[in-house]
Amino acid sequence: MEIYKHKVQYYETDKMQITHHSNYIRFMEEARTDFLEKNGWSYDRMENEGLISPVVSIDINYKKSTTYNDNIEIATKIIDMSMVKVEFEYTMYVKGSIVCTAKSVHCFVNNQGRPISIKKINSEIYELFLSLVEK
């Protein structure tokens, strides 16, 4: 599990300085990108290898509001992996209290947007992702 930190910016909030709900998807992407980079597979590297991993679904559960200047810690992990998709889980904390839990599912496609089996196309990334699965 990797921890990514994001400080809520003023522009990410509404008039009451509460973080707008749509920003949590961006926070998830930042944390997922950081997670992949720390494990040696940045999005740039994946795309250079001809792999694209678009979002198929997102599930978010808001527990508490966050506000301007809050420091959100986002724990990111892979919870499921198959030959055609990967599922990430995110738990967001402020001062040790859970503020949001979320999941995102991503498929694998080639540069032409056609679905592919990651195991057949790039067994190295498949094995890495599989080794990172946490239940």
Q: Which residues does the annotation mark as catalytic?
A: 14
Please, are residues 131 and 86 in contact by the beta-carbon 8 Å criterion? no
Q: Tell me the two tokens of residue 67.
A: 């506000």
Please, are residues 6 and 27 in contact by the beta-carbon 8 Å criterion? yes
- Separation CA 11–CA 33 (nearest Å): 22
- Separation CA 26–CA 59 (nearest Å): 13
Neighbours of 69 (CB within 10 A): 11
